[in-house]
């Protein structure tokens, strides 16, 4: 029952974002839709066009890929864009067909029965939202099994507005981010005794790892780095205990197999190679490129992980960013102050990886692809920082520090930050970024979603509030392994 309720909540949140986001408003969504629609028609990778980033595939002409007229122009509402009126199948261009086609195949075959057009695109979004909801619902099952309020808070703030936004658009970053959250959640739980000894937890981690590795070319790298951090957190004794289990070895083999397929496919299709992406390389000195990459860490990495929507033209309000940074900062500071030595090292290494690895990759690849790193590329790994930090707070449960009061205050901040971000994104598309703040009260909005804007602006805050309460309640009311017992074990969660 817990999983079903959690699934319904996350699916409703993803559906709200899908309805609030105009057609083709997701980053690279036109190419991803064309790719998904081409796979049931027999075009998995298509035919290259003069060795450039684009390929020709067979897909419905209505999906003619084009950058929407409102993209990169936040003051322009979305009513200026319409899908093509052409019917039947034809040869279209896409620059994302070199990705491993697991996600696109799921959306393509799942929506093939529905007539091409805006309805089919919304169906693709809902299928993607359902996949993400299933992954995130499993996280709350693990939260309830661990029964740690801090752990629940960590997962709550891993659900950045950007992560929830991606649950409503067609983009392989959507399942990658959700699978990253799931892998971190189940992985951290596995490092401790009690709930970590449940065989079902191994299965959840294995499924999350397989989905993660099957999404994007860099996903196996993120999983590997997450495992490095988890080994630090668990310690040698716990790792040896886990390796002795046949279920762990079996799921590890499955994850490795999917990772090998991803790496082999990427080596063959070369989705990130020079000439196979839509960006041009740089010919500047390496030192200049490195300085530029470091300078992007806040605007193009940290801030985008919190929320920069659409074609990177709609930033979440400063209030959302401030709340998120303060909340995650508080979790990290408490973890460093109260966590075990292994936990502190794990949090520190995770932060270092989240900052250094993107800079190193972008600097190394700038000659071929330019400075194109975005926050969503780091997010599948970076979500582990609040989860790790929150998991260490179990040592404080039952002490004089009122974690319950702290949790409810953070829960309020979570709701406010999410609602501000959602409202800003919907306003940008309905009336432009300079339009009325309370646009949903008027009937003169330039663009209207499939359901009334006022309904979305009433329903979404209610959904987010219920989600926050549901996560916190599951972390406190279901606790088969009380903190006072876990503290007697040599467990990082203690």
On average, the pLDDT of the chain sits at 88
Q: What percent of the chain has pLDDT over 90?
A: 68
pTM, full prediction: 0.93
Which tokens is 380 given?
């599948």
What pLDDT is stored for residue 299 in this prediction? 66
Give the pLDDT band (50/70/90) at residue 482: very low
Q: Write down the number of H helices and E strands in the chain.
A: 20, 5
What pLDDT is stored for residue 492 in this prediction? 46
Task: Please give the span between the terminal C-alpha atoms of the chain, in angstroms, as a whole number.
Answer: 28
Average pLDDT over residues 32-42: 95
What pLDDT is stored for residue 26 in this prediction? 93
pLDDT in tens, 48-93: 777 667 889 999 999 998 889 999 999 999 999 999 888 899 999 9
What pLDDT is stored for residue 442 in this prediction? 65
Integer Cα distance of 158 and 146 in angstroms: 17
Comparing 419 with 49, which gets the higher pLDDT? 419
What pLDDT is stored for residue 435 in this prediction? 86
- Residues whose CB falls within 8 Å of the CB of residue 167, separated by 6 or more in sequence, listed in order: 10, 13, 14, 17, 128, 129, 132, 133, 174, 178
Q: Is the pLDDT reported for residue 388 higher than 90?
A: yes
Q: Is the pLDDT reported for residue 297 higher than 90?
A: no
What pLDDT is stored for residue 399 in this prediction? 61
Tell me which residue of 150, 204, 203, 146 sits closest to 404, measured CA to CA: 150
What pLDDT is stored for residue 368 in this prediction? 61
Q: Is the pLDDT reported for residue 164 higher than 80?
A: yes
Integer Cα distance of 132 and 137 in angstroms: 8
What pLDDT is stored for residue 138 in this prediction? 96
Q: Is the pLDDT reported for residue 105 higher than 90?
A: yes
> How many residues belong to the chain?
494
What pLDDT is stored for residue 494 in this prediction? 44
What pLDDT is stored for residue 323 in this prediction? 97
What pLDDT is stored for residue 365 in this prediction? 72
- Residues whose CB falls within 8 Å of the CB of residue 473, separated by 6 or more in sequence, listed in order: none
Q: Is the pLDDT reported for residue 277 higher than 70?
A: no
Q: Is the pLDDT reported for residue 390 higher than 90?
A: yes
What pLDDT is stored for residue 485 in this prediction? 38
pLDDT in tens, 395-416: 776 665 678 888 899 999 999 9
Which tokens is 381 given?
């790994």
Average pLDDT over residues 153-173: 96
What pLDDT is stored for residue 490 in this prediction? 41
CA distance readout (Å), 91 to 23, 47, 76, 278: 21, 10, 30, 19
What pLDDT is stored for residue 306 in this prediction? 96
Average pLDDT over residues 338-347: 91
pLDDT in tens, 196-228: 688 899 999 999 999 999 999 999 999 999 999
Contact criterion met (CB below 8 Å) for 286 and 365: no
Q: Is the pLDDT reported for residue 15 higher than 90?
A: yes
Q: Is the pLDDT reported for residue 280 higher than 50?
A: yes
Which tokens is 372 given?
């194109």
Integer Cα distance of 54 and 182 in angstroms: 33
- Strand, helix or coil at 99? coil
Q: Is the pLDDT reported for residue 276 higher than 70?
A: no
Contact criterion met (CB below 8 Å) for 331 and 154: yes
| Locus of tokens 């003619």 | 64
What pLDDT is stored for residue 285 in this prediction? 65
What pLDDT is stored for residue 193 in this prediction? 77
pLDDT in tens, 106-138: 999 999 999 999 999 999 999 999 999 999 999
């Amino acid at each position: 029952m817990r999983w079903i309720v959690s699934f319904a909540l996350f699916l409703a949140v993803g559906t709200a974002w899908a309805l609030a986001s105009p057609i083709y408003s997701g980053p690279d969504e036109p190419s991803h839709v064309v790719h998904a629609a081409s796979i049931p028609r027999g075009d998995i990778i298509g035919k290259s066009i003069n060795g450039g980033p684009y390929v020709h595939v067979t897909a419905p002409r209505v999906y003619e890929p084009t950058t929407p007229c409102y993209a990169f122009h936040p003051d322009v509402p979305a009513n200026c864009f319409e899908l093509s009126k052409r019917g039947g199948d034809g040869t279209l261009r896409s620059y994302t067909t070199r990705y491993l086609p697991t996600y696109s195949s799921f959306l393509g075959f799942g929506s093939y029965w529905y007539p091409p057009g805006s309805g089919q695109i919304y169906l693709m979004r809902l299928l993607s939202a359902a996949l993400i909801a299933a992954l995130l619902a499993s996280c709350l099952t693990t939260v309830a099994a661990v029964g740690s309020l801090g752990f629940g808070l960590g997962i709550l703030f891993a659900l950045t507005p950007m992560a929830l936004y991606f649950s409503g658009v067609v983009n392989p970053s959507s399942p990658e981010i959700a699978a990253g959250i799931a892998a971190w959640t189940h992985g951290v739980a596995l490092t401790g005794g009690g709930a970590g000894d449940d065989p079902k937890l191994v299965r959840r981690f294995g499924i999350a790892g397989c989905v993660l590795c099957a999404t994007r070319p860099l996903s196996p790298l993120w999983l590997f780095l997450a495992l490095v951090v988890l080994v630090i957190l668990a310690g040698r004794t716990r790792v040896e205990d886990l390796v002795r289990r046949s279920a762990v070895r079996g799921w590890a083999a499955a994850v490795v197999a999917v990772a090998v397929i991803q790496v082999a496919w990427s080596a063959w299709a070369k989705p990130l190679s020079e000439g196979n992406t839509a960006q041009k390389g740089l010919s500047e000195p390496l030192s200049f490129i490195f300085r530029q990459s470091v300078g992007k860490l806040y605007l193009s990495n940290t801030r985008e992980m919190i929320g920069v929507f659409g074609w990177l033209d709609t930033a979440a309000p400063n209030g959302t960013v401030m709340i998120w940074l303060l909340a995650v900062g508080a979790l990290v500071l408490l973890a460093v102050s109260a966590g075990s030595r292994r936990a502190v090292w794990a949090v520190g290494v995770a932060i270092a990886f989240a900052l250094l690895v993107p800079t190193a990759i972008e600097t190394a690849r700038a000659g071929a692809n330019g400075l194109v790193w975005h926050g969503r590329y780091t997010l599948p790994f970076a979500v582990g920082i609040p989860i790790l930090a929150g998991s260490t707070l179990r040592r404080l449960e039952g002490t004089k520090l009122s974690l319950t009061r702290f949790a409810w205050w953070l829960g309020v901040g979570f709701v406010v930050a999410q609602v501000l971000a959602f409202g800003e994104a919907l306003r940008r598309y309905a009336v432009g970024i300079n339009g009325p703040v309370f646009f949903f009260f008027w009937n003169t909005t330039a663009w209207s979603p499939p359901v009334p804007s006022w309904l979305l602006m009433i329903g979404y805050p209610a959904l987010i509030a219920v989600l926050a309460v549901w996560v916190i309640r599951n972390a406190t009311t279901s606790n088969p392994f009380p903190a006072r017992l876990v503290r007697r074990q040599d467990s990082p969660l203690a």
